[in-house]
Structures are given as C-alpha cells and as structure tokens.
Amino acid sequence: MTTIYDIAKKTGFSITTVSRALNNYSDVSEKTKKLILDAVEEMHYYPNSVARTLSTKKSWALGIIFVEDLGIGMKHPFFNSVIEGFKKSVEKKGYDLIFLNRNVGGVKMSYLDHAVHRGVDGIAVVSSNYDDSEVEKIIASTLPNVIIDLHSTKSNVVYSDNLHGCELAIEHLYSLGHRKIAHIAGHPKTFVGLERLKGFKSAMKNHGLDIHKPFIVDGGLFSAEGGYNAMLKLLQMKDRPTAVFAAGDNMAFGAMKAIREAGLKVPEDFSVIGFDDIELAGEYTPSLTTIKQDMDRIGEKAAEVLLQEIDHKFEPSTCIIPVELIKRESTKSI
C-alpha cells in the first residue's frame, strides 16, 4: 500500500506539503501541486480513509439500521427500496453506507454504541415499530440521525402522507359507489398501522360513512397471511362489506387469495385496494389498485435531511412525502 510518505519521498517534499496538495490548500504553489498530483497518479495512491478518519473525526460513512419483527431484513420491499434511494443520494455526496448490527466481536452492544464505535457521521433508521428503546436512544443522542416511517418531534423524520393516502383510497371507493368498506389494519405496534387506521376512520367520517367496528380487522404484521386470515373473518359475516381497504399491499394479496378460495371474485364481488404499490402490485392478476408510496423519494429526502444535519446544525424536521392513487383492476364500481 502506498502511503503519503511514499509520495513525499518520491517528490522530495514533506508529507505536510503532500497532504496539503491533496486537500487543495492554497498555500502550495501550482508547480509543486502538479508535481505531487502527478506522482499520486503514477503511484496509484489513494489516501487511507482510516487514518484520515482518525485524525479528522470524519468518517464519510453513514450507518443504517432497520428494526422489524419479520426477520426478513433487506428482503423487505419497502426497506430495500427506501435504502436504495438513500444510498444513491448519499453516495453522490461521497458517503459510504454501513450496516449496523448489535454485536461486535461477539459482544452485544446497542446500535448507538456500535455507531459510535464505528465512527459513522450519521445514522438512518428504518423502523416499523412504534416504541423501540434502541431507536429512542438514537433519537436522544447527539449523533445526527434521521428516522424513516416513524414520528418523533425530537428528531428528523420522513414518512409518507399516510392520512392523505387513506383519504384517497376511501374517496376512490366512495366514488365507485361503495359504502360498506372494511379495513384490514396493520399491527397496532407499528406506526404506519396506527396512522392508516386513523386515516381510515377520519376518511370514512369525512365521507359521511359510519364505521362499522367489525369491519376493522387486524391484519398483523403486513404479511399476506395476515391479510388472508383477516379476510376470512370478513367473509364469514352475514352482512359483508363490498370493498376492502388493506393497510399494505401484501395484506391485500392475502385478502384476494381468501376471496378467490371462497369462490368469489375481485373486483366483481369485492373491490380491494392496497397501500404501498410494491412491484408485484402491477403484475398480479387482477392488478392491484393501491396507494403508491414514493420509496425513492423517501430515501432521497432522508439523505437530504441527514446530510443537512451533519453539515449545518440541528433542528428537528418532519417530512411528509406525497402519495398517489394508482387505479388498476382490483376496484370497480358497484
């Protein structure tokens, strides 16, 4: 590995001058700068980021953690989309992404401790869970951070406009003539589960529809199975809904499967609308009408906010990313 000393030796300047030339200091003449940069090129030298970090306290690395109970981690379609958007944005600014976990060399430590141990410049958290002590610790810390899909007044947060999304969904179903609308809710320990339930209720109210309690069924952790089981309950009722608004696409798929297995059809017998617009939504048969979350934008925005906190100083911000109704085949007028 070639070091700054090698460049110094080769050019005859001191390592101080080499360092200055590399970092564009003004007090090094154009001539020697060129000499040095040529040598750098020739010897294929790249500064060692570890050494640089040690002396500057700036690692140009960002930590990312995700908290979810399914154990699918990066396979989670929402997470990986958001992270991809985040990653692309921060890379443009010269940051690397590092996954933080909770054990270092066999020793369990908190995410925050791990982040400090690694010397990252900031942390992005994608969390589905409501009160997570790990996340709270990060929020309370002085390390710049941004939280995705969770609300807090004490930190930077970024999430979709869940309430408006629900409004769009109910509005759409209402305009198709549906009045008996069920909601397959996300788990109450998740922020978006709660938000969308709230949004559902408020949207129903706004349309002058009253909320039939049994029509609100728990769909669990946003999985297809959860949606399937929830739909089974709805199918057992004598007075069934005509439309189902699921708090997540996967739950909508599960619901449609239950409907199909009951010998009924979507959208003829039930209109179904989801939330997320995961890739599968457009491919499924029938394709799924849903509320599209702009995951790329969420990731980008999170990057923007985090880098801003790192560069300048801190003031908690809340970014609500717009959502959009995507009309497809799974909903029709009554």
* Binder of residue 239, out of a copy of itself, DNA, none (CB less than 5 to 8 A by kind): none
224-236 vs 249-261: helix axis angle to the nearest 10? 50
The span from the CA of 155 to the CA of 127, in Å, is 14
* Binder of residue 312, out of DNA, a copy of itself, none (CB less than 5 to 8 A by kind): none
Selected from 3, 32, 53, 129, the binder of a copy of itself by CB under 8 A is: 53
Decide: helix, strand or coil at residue 101.
Answer: coil
284 binds a copy of itself (CB under 8 A): yes
Hey, what's the torsion of the CAs at 44, 45, 50, 51, to 10 degrees?
160
5 binds a copy of itself (CB under 8 A): no
Least separation in angstroms between residue 26's CB and DNA is 7
* Binder of residue 280, out of DNA, a copy of itself, none (CB less than 5 to 8 A by kind): a copy of itself
The span from the CA of 263 to the CA of 265, in Å, is 7
Amino acid identity of residue 252, one-letter, is A
The span from the CA of 308 to the CA of 295, in Å, is 20
Least separation in angstroms between residue 96's CB and DNA is 16
206 binds a copy of itself (CB under 8 A): no
At a CB cut-off of 8 Å and minimum separation 6, what does 228 contact? 254, 255, 257, 258
Residues near DNA (CB under 7 A) are 1, 3-5, 12-17, 19-20, 22-23, 26-33, 45, 47-48, 51-52, 54-56
Q: Is the dihedral of CA 148, 152, 157, 163 positive or negative?
A: positive
Cβ closest to DNA, residue 40 vs residue 194: 40
116 binds a copy of itself (CB under 8 A): yes
Amino acid identity of residue 223, one-letter, is S
106 binds a copy of itself (CB under 8 A): yes
- How would you class 146 by CB atoms within 10 Å of its CB: exposed for 0-12, middle for 13-18, buried for 19 or more? buried
- How would you class 264 by CB atoms within 10 Å of its CB: exposed for 0-12, middle for 13-18, buried for 19 or more? middle
118 binds a copy of itself (CB under 8 A): yes
Q: Output the six-digit token pair for 107.
A: 């020793």
Per-residue x/- mask for a copy of itself, residues 293 to 332, rule CB under 8 A? ----------------------------------------
* Binder of residue 99, out of a copy of itself, DNA, none (CB less than 5 to 8 A by kind): a copy of itself
229 binds a copy of itself (CB under 8 A): no
Cβ closest to a copy of itself, residue 91 vs residue 327: 91
91 binds a copy of itself (CB under 8 A): yes
Q: Output the six-digit token pair for 119.
A: 């010397």
287 to each of 144, 228, 324, 326, 328, how far by Cα in Å?
41, 17, 16, 10, 6
| Total interface residues for a copy of itself by CB under 8 A | 52
* Cβ atoms 276, 165 nearer than 8 A: no
Binding site for a copy of itself (CB under 8 A): 1, 44, 46-51, 53-54, 59-61, 72-75, 77, 80-81, 83-84, 87-88, 91-92, 94, 96-101, 103-106, 109, 113, 116-119, 224, 253, 257, 260, 279-280, 283-285
